[in-house]
């Protein structure tokens, strides 16, 4: 059982069912904190037995009746200024925000991206957003590449963050993307099940490699526009650049992809206005359209569809006018 001696501490007694299991797994399940968060708390000396003895080994076995206390440290202040950046919010309640991220917006601050990120915008939007994982930052559950648009989930509480992380980890949700690709496959529906890892020579890229992690994408052809395809992709895993890598491996590079598609300049063999729309595309033609899952707190079934941004709607319309 778990109780809270004060607002900064959690006390836990090991049950019969938990006896013999790993300390980090048992504490994470009991406290509804992520396992990685528990491991950090162990390393930093914030977990001890009820008698006051520090505990730091995450893999230590626990036994029925043992009691542990977790002291939650105060959130670390950010050296980030909130920025009044408009957000296209598709859903919001006390626990979650789901928004339509535009292409060109970086999710987290990093080297070369110290302002204008989604985190800066969320700090302005959520005036009382609590710390997630011990840091005063919005609880972004998953990411989209800078130049991929579409639906993105943010947790507003640590409990919501942990439960949403579990939903993504067990793939208990429906994630669908739309992509416009160069090429037309011989198949109409295919499960692409190829491992993805770091490119052996170009470390900034990912690649299909035998030493990579399991990666599964369901792909189906929604429409054929002459030499181009509109694809619908369903993700069952969430590897870095997964859709872009899988499609490039199938000889279906995403239009506008600067990393996995070789430089492409449509010639006169491509009908107008498609030629002009492709030539002026400044982002990869990939959009996270649909997110469906059960709300982590209420259990309500959510189905969130992110509208296409203007540049991708224009691309679709131009391909339709050119090829029907």
> Catalytic residues, which ones?
145
Nearest to 194 by CA among 205, 183, 210: 210
Nearest to 107 by CA among 144, 74, 77, 136: 144
Query: Can you tell me whether residue 242 is helix, strand or coil?
Result: helix
From CA 236, how far away is CA 193, in angstroms rounded? 10
Proportion of the chain in helix, strand, coil states, percent, rounded to 5: 20, 30, 50
- The dihedral over CA atoms of 259, 265, 271, 273, expressed in degrees to the nearest 10, equals 70
Q: Do 53 and 112 form a contact (C-beta atoms < 8 A)? A: no
Nearest to 234 by CA among 248, 260, 215, 261: 215
φ and ψ of 229, to 5 deg: -130, 140
Nearest to 318 by CA among 183, 190, 176, 180: 180
Contacts for 66 with CB less than 8 Å, ≥ 6 apart: 13, 14, 49
CB atoms within 10 A of CB 172: 10
From CA 53, how far away is CA 90, in angstroms rounded? 48
CB atoms within 10 A of CB 260: 19
Contacts for 57 with CB less than 8 Å, ≥ 6 apart: 23, 42
From CA 119, how far away is CA 299, in angstroms rounded? 27
């Amino acid at each position: 059982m778990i109780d809270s001696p004060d607002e900064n501490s959690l006390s836990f007694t090991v049950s019969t069912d938990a006896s013999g299991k790993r300390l980090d797994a048992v504490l994470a399940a009991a406290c509804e904190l992520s396992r990685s968060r528990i491991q950090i708390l162990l390393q930093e000396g914030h977990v001890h037995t009820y008698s006051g003895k520090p505990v730091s080994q995450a893999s230590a076995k626990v036994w029925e009746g043992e009691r542990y206390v977790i002291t939650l440290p105060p959130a670390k202040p950010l050296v980030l200024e909130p920025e009044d950046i408009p957000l296209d919010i598709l859903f919001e309640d006390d626990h979650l925000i789901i928004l339509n991220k535009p292409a060109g917006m970086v999710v987290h601050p990093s080297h070369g991206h110290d302002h204008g990120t989604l985190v800066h915008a969320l700090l302005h939007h959520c005036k009382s957003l609590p710390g997630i994982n011990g840091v005063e930052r919005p609880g972004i559950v998953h990411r989209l590449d800078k130049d991929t648009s579409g639906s993105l989930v943010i947790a507003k509480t640590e409990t919501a963050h942990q439960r949403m992380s579990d939903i993504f980890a067990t793939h208990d949700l429906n994630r669908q993307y739309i992509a416009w690709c160069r090429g037309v496959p011989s198949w109409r529906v295919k499960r692409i099940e190829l491992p993805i890892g770091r490119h052996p020579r170009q470390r900034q890229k990912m690649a299909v490699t035998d030493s990579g992690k399991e990666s599964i994408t369901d792909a189906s052809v929604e429409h054929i526009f002459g030499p181009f395809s509109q694809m619908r992709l369903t993700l069952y895993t969430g590897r870095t650049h997964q859709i872009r890598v899988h499609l490039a491996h199938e000889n279906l590079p995403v239009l506008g992809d600067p990393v996995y598609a070789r430089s492409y300049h449509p010639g006169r063999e491509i009908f107008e206005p498609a030629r002009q729309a492709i030539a002026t595309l400044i982002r990869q033609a990939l959009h996270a359209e649909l997110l469906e899952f059960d709300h982590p707190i209420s259990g309500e079934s959510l189905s969130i569809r992110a509208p296409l941004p203007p540049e991708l709607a224009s691309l679709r319309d131009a391909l339709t006018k050119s090829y029907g």
